[in-house]
Amino acid sequence: MKAALAPWALSGGAAVSVGFARFGYALILPAMKTDLHLNYAQAGWLNTANSLGYLLGAVLAIYFVARLGNRALFVWGIALTTLSLLANGMTHDFQWLTLFRFLAGLGAAGTFICGGVLSGVLGARAIVIFFSGGGIGMLLSGAALPWLFSLTGAAAWPVAWLAIGAICVPLAIAAALAARAIAEPSVPGTQASWPWRHCAAEFIAYFFFGLGYIAYMTFMIAWVNRHIGESAHLAAATSVMWIILGAMTLAAPLLWRRLFSGRRDGRPMGLALLVLALGAALPLLLPNLAGIWLSAMLVGGSVFMVPSAVTGFVKANLPAPAWGGALAVATSLFAIGQTIGPVACGWISDLTGSLSSGLAASAAVLFLAALLALQQESLRHKAAQPVAP
């Protein structure tokens, strides 16, 4: 594979693990909620099951990345995620759906963490290309799924999962081939120490990012459904919103290039979070199509820059053998927040009778995360050295 194409092929891992497996659920959720008669807490629970799998995968990555290497975890993770997405379309049973959502999250953790590490081997530009790959999944989902449900009704949600899984197969193959051609940044069987206390502001902010952003990505389409009347307008509104999200995600590397270049502190993450928080709050301030689409522009242009910023921070401040372990720890914190977020937002919404309350709380959490990330200093004089396990 040509070197110039490797980051783009590798970004298929982000498309599968996040663009389809995590964010595709937001588009399918209203149909599943209607057809399966779910309340908001149950709908949130299915995403929490995915997040629990992601959390377990991140914790396991802390242990296995030093023993098996990033490439192996990436390939196994993307295979498990793709198969789980296909399985979602083969059952109506809530318990089986919970299991498949869990397994999709389990595989996605290894794909996302190790894909970030492998992209770091290719350079800073490859990092943002990899994470922006999630926009591929969002763009394709947004272009097709709202119209599918508009034409065929809520009962078509299994077809949506099968279609998503089918699209993920070639993306997964291309990403796996790219990963196998990238040099392993760490030697299996060795570990590296790193000053985790000095990374606290960045990593805790990443926890709050997981807590806040997932509520928007899980329930925003359901919120749009409540505020747009006619079905034809609803399909157009949701399709355009998701296309904007995906397109802005793909454009984000160009928009943020200068800020991310050469930074070793928490400013890239903090500013990306500020834009994200504003985008999450905007529909509540402007509850119309203009507000919804402008929100999509801001969220799409910033949401994947947050994990890009964390990965860039780790790469700039820590030795290469420590990248996998450090990102696994950061991702574990993120996954804990992501696990709590959907159920918390669903619970607040059920309690108040309004999705706006849960979404407002998530926007406030994102503002808090931004302020915390801006406190992170460079570790220029505190780099760790590799040690034997």
pLDDT at 141 over 80: yes
CA distance 256 to 304: 11
Confidence of residue 389 (pLDDT cuts 50, 70, 90): very low
Q: Which helix (H) or strand (E) holds 329?
A: helix 323-352
Higher pLDDT, 88 or 145: 88
Question: For residue 56, what pLDDT is reported?
Answer: 92
pLDDT band at 380 (very low <50, low <70, confident <90, very high): low
In this model, does residue 257 exceed pLDDT 90?
no
Residues 179-232: pLDDT tens digits? Answer: 988 888 766 555 566 666 778 889 999 999 998 887 787 777 777 777 665 455
Average pLDDT for the chain: 84
The whole-number average pLDDT for the span 237-256 is 85
Comparing 47 with 89, the larger pLDDT belongs to 89
User: Token pair 């990555």 is at which residue?
Assistant: 61
Say if CB 359 and CB 285 are below 8 A apart.
no
Q: What is the pTM of this model?
A: 0.80
Please give the torsion angle defined by the CA atoms of residues 83, 89, 94 and 99, in that order, rounded to the nearest 10 degrees: 0
Q: Distance (Å, rounded) from C-alpha 77 to C-alpha 214? A: 21
CA distance 372 to 300: 22
Kindly state which CATH superfamily the domain 6-381 is placed in: MFS general substrate transporter like domains (1.20.1250.20)
Sign of the four-CA dihedral 66, 72, 78, 83: negative
Nearest to 125 by CA among 7, 15, 245, 299: 7
Q: Which residue has the tokens 């985790």?
A: 196
| Rounded percentage of the chain residues whose pLDDT exceeds 90 | 31
357 and 210 in contact (C-beta within 8 Å)? no
DSSP string, 93-134: -HHHHHHHHHHHHHHHHHHHHHHHHHHHHH-HHHHHHHHHTH
- Domain locations in the chain as residue ranges: 6-381
